[in-house]
Amino acid sequence: MLVAALVAAQSVSGCDRMRGARVLKAQKDLRMIYDAALEYEHEHGRLPTSIEEMAVPPDLGGFSCLYALAPWRNPYRYEFTDSGPVITCFGADGKPGGLHEDADLFYSARGSRP
């Protein structure tokens, strides 16, 4: 019985670490896409209007990170605003809002916010 409880506790701890790793990966991806948008602006004189506009194969000068999905297999979203690009991930459930692993992640000129 004690062994089963220890295995279960270790399994939950491993799941928590995996969830945390997914969130960290998504935050890193958001920043990479944001930086790619700024690099695009530097090279083209304007910000891109969509992720697809930046999605050029790396051998042609594009950004490979733009082909990636969020760790939960949901697409990243790119919004072009007056204050610059805003990159969003809707979390594990792929829907706006949510708590914990389902919480939305953002990156913009103001940085990231949960």
Give the model confidence (pLDDT) of 65-86 as tens digits: 555 789 999 999 999 888 889 9
Position of tokens 């000068």? Answer: 61
How far, in Å, CA of 7 to CA of 4, rounded? 5
The domain tally of the chain equals 1
How far, in Å, CA of 88 to CA of 33, rounded? 10
With contact defined as beta carbons under 8 Å apart, do 12 and 94 qualify? no
Query: pLDDT tens for residues 102-111?
Result: 999 999 987 6
Q: What is the pTM of this model?
A: 0.74
What is residue 46's predicted lDDT score, i.e. its pLDDT?
92
Query: pLDDT tens for residues 20-68?
Result: 899 999 999 999 899 989 988 998 899 988 888 887 666 666 656 555 7
What is residue 27's predicted lDDT score, i.e. its pLDDT?
92
CATH number at residue 45: 3.30.700.10
Q: Is residue 1 part of a domain?
A: no
Q: Is residue 18 part of a domain?
A: no
Range(s) of the domain holding residue 72: 23-113
Q: Is residue 16 part of a domain?
A: no
Whether the pLDDT of residue 11 is over 50: the answer is no
